[in-house]
Amino acid sequence: MPYLFTSESVSEGHPDKVADQISDTLLDNFLAFDPESKVACETLVTTGQVVLAGEVKSDTYLDVQTIARDVINDIGYTKGAYKFSGDSCGVISLIHEQSQDINQGVDRGNKEEQGAGDQGMMFGYATKETENYMPLALDISHKILIELAKLRRENNEITYLRPDSKSQVTIEYSDDNIPQRIDSIVVSTQHDEFDEEDTRMLDKIKKDILEILIPRVQAQLPEYVQKLFNDKIKYHINPTGKFVIGGPHGDTGLTGRKIIVDTYGGKGAHGGGAFSGKDPSKVDRSAAYAARHIAKNLVAAGVADEVLIQVSYAIGVVEPTSLLVETYGTKKVDLSHGEIAKKVLKIFDMRPAAIEERLGLRNPIYRETSAYGHFGKEPRTERKVFKSPYNGEKTVEVNLFTWEEINKVEEIKKEFEI
């Protein structure tokens, strides 16, 4: 019997994502001026206030207030009417030095023997369902909000948009897990006050979403996904009605509170650890990236159509405590999951320092991950400029989303004799 599956996304202006972006931008600045920085930075945003907290070990010093304000302005919170603005909010820093008890288990004289920054389990997932090996419902949800943000910045076709928004997509699947149609789409977007009565305001928003936003999103999708759109889709546009009060004024935001949006939209599994604000010695982040890299390359190589990788660590211990492979009955090789896992560990060194080196994780690459998901984006090279009143200006060329590179396929095919 057909079944429904749903994923959601939130915009860069969602309060939790504002917090994530501030935390990751602070991390990038620490890494730009001191690549060996150890950072665990949390952010809270609420009406007119930003609170920065966490632990840092670094040889550099940052103007954290200016960095936070710049991020908020970049997102689009620039007006007093929003009750939260980069130029007027208060910024309180409670950041302090990292615990020596933690640091002694991570730092070693030999970099290769670096221990894991924490215990826990991390997951990576990939599926042939989309061209970027991501779950389809999440991929469409992200694209809806990315395009909505573009419309907001263009301020041309739709002129009343504010930064906070959410989306949700429900897809009907056949018994053999093939997408059949889009069942429903939810879009909630913050907006300016309207002069006319609320019913006319809501009618205009719905019309603009259906006639401007959705066609722009649909045009970006491959033909097989476009066919899933139909005239029977149930649209819920701002279903609660008026949405003027939003962002950190409408809801307090915290770093690390959108872990399913950040990963696979409910597909696969999640170990519970958030990403943003954490340097790569924290395996919550680096090992999750490495697990995605493994899963994506296994699917691309033809080992299976769908792959979940679980890896686990003990704090201060170099080697992972386990690695598991699950293929949901889609594997194309005559091997058990345990045998596949052994071959994976021959190809991919999962020690924390090896992951950092392989994926280039000691570079300032994290601001770009902190909205619209950490996975499924195109790898690219970018030149970034960092400015500091204490360290001057530094230009760094970085490779973004290295864990999305399909660069192990030939090695995998050789090992698996595909």
CATH code, 401: 3.30.300.10
- pLDDT value at position 240? 87
What are the binding residues for L-methionine?
Answer: 55, 98, 251, 282
pLDDT tops 70 at residue 360 = yes
Does residue 76 sit within a domain? no
Range name among 25-39, 193-207, 284-298, 379-393 with the lowest pLDDT average: 193-207
What are the binding residues for Mg(2+)?
Answer: 16
What are the binding residues?
Answer: 14, 16, 42, 55, 98, 164-166, 242-243, 251, 257-258, 274, 278, 282
Does residue 26 sit within a domain? no
State how many domains the chain has. Answer: 2
Higher pLDDT, 388 or 359: 359
What are the binding residues for ATP?
Answer: 14, 164-166, 242-243, 251, 257-258, 274, 278
Per DSSP (E only), the strands in 205-355 are 234-237, 253-254, 306-313, 322-326
Last residue of a domain, one of 247, 275, 308: 247
Last residue of a domain, one of 222, 247, 272: 247
Q: Domain of residue 377: give its range.
A: 120-128+283-416
Question: What mean pLDDT value characterizes the chain?
Answer: 94
Residue 337 in tokens? 């999951």
C-alpha distances in Å from residue 307, one per residue of 180, 200, 274, 328: 21, 47, 21, 7
Q: pLDDT, tens digit, for every residue of 321-343?
A: 999 999 999 999 999 999 999 99
In this prediction, residues 55-60 reach a mean pLDDT of 94
**What b/e readout covers 281-301, taking b as 16+ CB neighbours within 10 angstroms?**
bbbbbbbbbbbbbbbbbbbbb
Indicate if 148 and 124 belong to the same structural domain: no
Does residue 276 sit within a domain? no
Indicate if 294 and 370 belong to the same structural domain: yes
Residue 358 in tokens? 């392989």
In this prediction, residues 122-140 reach a mean pLDDT of 97
Report residue 199's pLDDT band, with 50, 70 and 90 as the boundaries. Answer: confident
pTM as predicted: 0.95
- pLDDT value at position 245? 84
Indicate if 405 and 307 belong to the same structural domain: yes
378 DSSP assignment: P
Indicate if 238 and 289 belong to the same structural domain: no
331 DSSP assignment: B
Does residue 255 sit within a domain? no
